[in-house]
Structure 1
Amino acid sequence: MHRPSPVEAEIADELADVRPALVSRYAAALPGARAAVLSRLWRGLAHDPLPWVARREPDRDGLTLRLTDGRRLRGPRPDPYATAAYVTVVRLDGVAYGDPARLMGELAVPHSAAFAAELAHSAASLALSRANDPREGGVGGWARDQEWEWEQRVVDGHPFHPSCRSRPGFSVADQLAYGPEHRPVVELGLIPVPAGDCLVTGVWPEWLRDGERVVIPVHPWQAAHVLKREPSGRMAARPLMALRTLALPDGPHVKTALSARLTSSVRDISLGSVAASAVLSEFGESMAARAGGLLHITRTLGAAAAGSAGLAAVVRESPQEYAAAGERVVPVAALPATGLPRSPAWVARFARLALTVGLRLLDLGLALEAHGQNLLVVLSADGEPVRLVYRDLADLRVSPARLAHHGILAPELPARMVTDDERVLRRKLFGSLVAGSLAGTAGSGPALRAVLESVVRDLPRTPDLAALRGEPLPAKALTLMRLSPRAAGDEWAELPNPLQDECL
């Protein structure tokens, strides 16, 4: 019998105090949660360019990693595109480990202790999320056909990140109060700031002004733990998949600063992103207009920051603004949880739509970060994918050279967003769309290969498509990044190309 880790036991004790009805369900969910996190971790161990892995030796029955210190790590044959929990045990020099945190601790590589703590939080928080899933008999339920409901159905978080539910800054009470999968109503704090002390771009809504003061919505966790000030008012909202972005009852979405490490990032809003938000929104709209009516960009209505990234907010349109009568707009990450029929033919039609749009914009000079949270699909009344909606423009990449080739003037944007490096541009799109959204929707390497094979032959022949067909598929090296806390920017892995590799 597996002995609960200290983190698992701590969450069980807190849960007994704040939600005792979930204690037994939480305990029952732990084994499956550990396997889900271990499967994500094995993906990273098998494919990330980790400096302490000397070589990888695949065979008919699995994969052996030869470590630089002479040890051997063995697990099942990896499928980097699998979303199901298929890894229950990994063996280090013959000793079996079913707990991802214990495995990482035993590896004892640089920064592994901190990462092991994240993995423990991830598994325990995932078990808590599953314990409170109404589809599995948890407490409470969903409303019907509300836009935020689709987002709250994503119980397991990121399909490939081993820290998919890591929330070390949150207590159990915090998770239940703020985690979208727990379906809470969150009372955003309202903090008024003299307009002269604020950076404001776009058109800041009148309902968030108080005379000469700008009223900034603040996440309650941020108000209590970082700003340490009592808001002057409150506003009810529903948390979306990103947790720090919430839907207001009358439609707009509010992206708040949240200085807690969730998954792998501290979720502040930089002053640079506030300054660039209006120009970026206008540019995004103009580029979407070149996608033949197949893409909409949610407009940023206004952004404000009061002197720091910790007190800032962005107000933007709801993606539902782009749904006609009878249509629904669903985040791609939520597609597996909708219960809607998704045959291989349906997935192929969605992939054709997404690749057509993504490759068209990439050719023009705009690389979308089209992962399952940013990318949404408009479904017709009978469930067919008809258009796309993209939100949150902060991580786009823009190529002035490609834009100029098509007679488009590049806007003034933060330097980190601007590049003519084809490798960087392709990584941004392919890593998020193909290795992310499409892989997560297909659910496995063989399924992804079948989808891509049925689609790419019909796409316009461009150098980008040739790279997609003939080169390894880039994906963020999520495990390496968590083991490289001092490294700036993204690290990348090269996954076997589903269109090329026969080992999937």
Structure 2
Amino acid sequence: MTAELVRAALTDPRFPEVRRRVFRQLLESLLYEGALTTENAATENAATERDGDEHVVTGEDRDGKPVRYSFRAVRRFGFDRVGLTSPVLREGVEADSVTRFLTEVRGSLDADPDHIVAFARELEETLFKDALSEHLREDPPSTADHDALETAITDGHRYHPTYKSRVGFDVADDLAFGPEFANPLRPLWLAAHRDITEVSASGSLDRQYLADQLGGEATRFHRLIEDVGEPDEYVLVPVHPWQWRERLARAFSEQLARGELIPLGPDPHEFLPQQSIRTLTCRDVPERPYLKLSLSMVNTSTSRGLAAHTVRNAPRVTDWLREVVAGDAYLSGELRPILLGEELGVAVTPESGLLRPDTYGALACIWRESLHPHLEPGERAMPFTGLTSCLRDGTPLIAEWLREQGAENWVRGLVRVAAIPLVHLLCAHGIALESHAQNMALVHVDGVPERVVLKDFHDGVRFSPQHLAGEAPELAAPPAHHQNRNSFVETDELSLVTDFLLDAFFFINLGELAIFLDDRGELAERDFWRVVAEEIRAHQERFPDLAERFALFDLFTPAIEVEKLTSRRLHPDTELRLHAVPNPLAEVEKC
């Protein structure tokens, strides 16, 4: 069956479009980040202005003969983004291999030779897994709620070329654990001895927190622990079944043999993976907290383990943000953003010596509040990724909203309820959130924007302590061996705070929505950013006492620094890789 399914996916009529998407995002990001040298010849006729300049990349085939790739691309209004307007051609015929492309044009790439092979593998994994997804994809029902949309929206990252790599998953794993296939799973529960475990809990957490979730299984688990040791000396932690099979049984064999880890059994309820794959929603009891679990696989070029210091910080950041919002009458009383609190964190951190890379971040869980108890009668929620998603026939999920409200009016409402809370948190309080599309949901009433859902705080906040309006939380610092140079919460560089929001939310999140609406003739990019700028200026006029703070966190700066997401995969991850791009908020005010 698996072999037949693979062949069917790779011969599906939609496969060429998947391949075009991988090529498109690869070439757009390489050009945008200055990582690919091309020759281009601009012409001035109207058709070419619309279709873009022709770019040519030269290389050599395996026999050393010259080879020529060509495509057309334009510069978009927002952030000077690059957009391909044609397929990629190889010697005049549509290119059919991203690996061959990288192999043949290596001389034109700014890349470390040792990293190209791994990057090519990620691209091939993405191509296959997205093809499988498109082959089996079904449209969500019009009545789909937030949880159903988390499994139905299959697009992935719209800038990053390895948007669905899932390195570590084979075909069977992808079908079993990929969110778009909506196959239920049951986490395995372990008991971890407190000597090798770090626990962090929100101040509001009830002592019965886990027992209430597990029901009668909590008693059975207690008895199983008693067979080995004293239950009070152990902490319960759930594990993704793939992680248990592929990593934990081997990497933690010593702890299992000594009774420091005790397998207890599966969860009493079935769960479904969200878009992030490692976060699970309880299908049987939707009000149960979401489980964010360690997964030692790579997706969108990032390992999906959970670093212990971020797990430790999750409840502390949650308590801090809740206090900030509750103490701000404008946020708590008028905008009313929903913060899905990360209320409990557990990380198993044994002394592993040479095997530390196998165990660090490999066994951990963050319990995040479910959205369901926060919604009021009449409210529904859509993941922000849904705002740029389409049905199989190309109809946007939000088409009816745009038709009924008008695109500009709807965008203005969206900005008021989604962008302004983030702007206010930044400027009034000095707190930037990494609000890319997977970290947000829009609460609406019949499509009318109502308020916003924010989540993923454990490593998704950034601040400069000396520029906070209040006290900084007491957080755990990353250990010396933590290698992710792009993952940090505190910084002395104020620009890295402002750009954190401008990059994740404005560049990626709103930027993709602006492109989406423009490409479908709903609202020109320039008009989109004009609306955003107008609403931010209106907010600033409403709070004249924050004038100095608005100047300090300048959202209208002419240029911002954004991550070179693709270039990071072509070089050792030893430094921040950023480039300055024009800010559309500043550009629209020049007109």
TM-score range, shorter chain: 0.7 to 0.9
Amino acid at match of 1:482: R
What residue number does 1:159 align with?
Answer: 158
When residues 83 and 227 of structure 1 are mapped into structure 2, their CA distance, relative to the original with a 3 A threshold, is farther
Is the 8 Å Cα contact of residues 32 and 81 (structure 2) preserved in structure 1? Answer: no
Asked if 1:232 corresponds to 2:264, the answer is: yes
Question: Under a length normalisation based on structure 1, what TM-score does the superposition of the two structures give?
Answer: 0.84
CA distance in 1, matches of 2:39, 2:72: 16
Amino acid at match of 1:287: V
The CA deviation at 1:275 is: 1.8
* Structure 1 segments unaligned to the other structure (5+ residues): 1-13, 136-140
The CA deviation at 1:267 is: 0.7
Between 342-351 and 161-170, the greater mean CA deviation after superposition: 342-351
Asked if 1:419 corresponds to 2:491, the answer is: yes
Amino acid at match of 1:443: I
CA distance in 2, matches of 1:72, 1:501: 36
Asked if 1:387 corresponds to 2:457, the answer is: no
Is the 8 Å Cα contact of residues 296 and 389 (structure 1) preserved in structure 2? Answer: yes
* Structure 2 segments unaligned to the other structure (5+ residues): 44-48, 61-65, 223-230, 251-261, 350-359, 390-396, 478-487, 519-523, 541-546
Amino acid at match of 1:323: L
The CA deviation at 1:26 is: 5.5
Asked if 1:246 corresponds to 2:280, the answer is: yes
SS in 1 for 2:438: coil
Equivalent residues, number? 476
CA distance in 2, matches of 1:57, 1:286: 56
Amino acid at match of 1:488: T
What residue number does 1:16 align with?
Answer: 3
CA-atom RMSD in angstroms: 3.3
Asked if 1:492 corresponds to 2:578, the answer is: yes
Is the 8 Å Cα contact of residues 281 and 290 (structure 2) preserved in structure 1? Answer: yes
SS in 2 for 1:169: coil
- 2:504 corresponds to which of 432, 435, 440: 432
When residues 428 and 178 of structure 1 are mapped into structure 2, their CA distance, relative to the original with a 3 A threshold, is same
When residues 464 and 72 of structure 1 are mapped into structure 2, their CA distance, relative to the original with a 3 A threshold, is farther
What residue number does 2:104 align with?
Answer: 106
The CA deviation at 1:199 is: 0.9
What residue number does 1:77 align with?
Answer: 73
Is the 8 Å Cα contact of residues 73 and 82 (structure 2) preserved in structure 1? Answer: no
Question: Under a length normalisation based on structure 2, what TM-score does the superposition of the two structures give?
Answer: 0.73
Amino acid at match of 2:171: V
SS in 2 for 1:241: coil
SS in 1 for 2:180: helix
Rg larger for? 2
The CA deviation at 1:272 is: 0.4
SS in 2 for 1:156: coil
When residues 469 and 65 of structure 1 are mapped into structure 2, their CA distance, relative to the original with a 3 A threshold, is farther
Asked if 1:471 corresponds to 2:469, the answer is: no
What residue number does 1:292 align with?
Answer: 331
When residues 458 and 501 of structure 1 are mapped into structure 2, their CA distance, relative to the original with a 3 A threshold, is closer
The CA deviation at 1:40 is: 1.1
Amino acid at match of 1:481: R
Amino acid at match of 1:37: V
Amino acid at match of 1:119: L
Is the 8 Å Cα contact of residues 46 and 78 (structure 1) preserved in structure 2? Answer: no
- 1:34 corresponds to which of 2, 5, 19: 19
CA distance in 2, matches of 1:426, 1:94: 44
SS in 1 for 2:566: helix
Amino acid at match of 2:105: L
What residue number does 1:47 align with?
Answer: 32
Alignment of 1:43-442 (within 5 A): 43-50=28-35, 53=37, 60=49, 61-62=52-53, 64=55, 74-78=70-74, 87-90=85-88, 97-108=95-106, 109=109, 110=112, 111-135=115-139, 145-202=144-201, 203=205, 205-206=210-211, 207=213, 210=222, 211-212=231-232, 213-228=234-249, 231-235=263-267, 236-248=270-282, 249-250=284-285, 251=287, 252-289=289-326, 290=328, 292-293=331-332, 294=335, 295-307=337-349, 308-337=360-389, 338-339=397-398, 341-342=401-402, 343-363=407-427, 364-380=429-445, 382-393=446-457, 394-403=459-468, 406=469, 408-415=470-477, 416-442=488-514
CA distance in 2, matches of 1:72, 1:410: 55
The CA deviation at 1:474 is: 4.1
Is the 8 Å Cα contact of residues 100 and 120 (structure 1) preserved in structure 2? Answer: yes
SS in 1 for 2:556: helix
Between 253-262 and 339-348, the greater mean CA deviation after superposition: 339-348
Amino acid at match of 2:435: A
SS in 1 for 2:147: helix
Q: Deviations over 1:262-286 (max 9, x none)?
A: 1111111111012212211101212
Is the 8 Å Cα contact of residues 359 and 465 (structure 1) preserved in structure 2? Answer: no
What residue number does 1:3 align with?
Answer: none
Identity %: 26
The CA deviation at 1:118 is: 1.2
Alignment of 1:441-460 (within 5 A): 441-444=513-516, 446=518, 447-459=524-536, 460=539
The CA deviation at 1:352 is: 3.2
When residues 354 and 270 of structure 1 are mapped into structure 2, their CA distance, relative to the original with a 3 A threshold, is same
The CA deviation at 1:78 is: 3.4
Amino acid at match of 1:410: A
Q: Deviations over 1:382-417 (max 9, x none)?
A: 2211111111102210121221xx3x1111224521
The CA deviation at 1:216 is: 1.1
Amino acid at match of 2:264: S
Is the 8 Å Cα contact of residues 26 and 131 (structure 1) preserved in structure 2? Answer: no
When residues 384 and 167 of structure 1 are mapped into structure 2, their CA distance, relative to the original with a 3 A threshold, is same
CA distance in 1, matches of 2:495, 2:476: 19
Amino acid at match of 1:238: L
CA distance in 1, matches of 2:135, 2:91: 34
When residues 146 and 353 of structure 1 are mapped into structure 2, their CA distance, relative to the original with a 3 A threshold, is closer
What residue number does 2:482 align with?
Answer: none
CA distance in 1, matches of 2:386, 2:517: 19
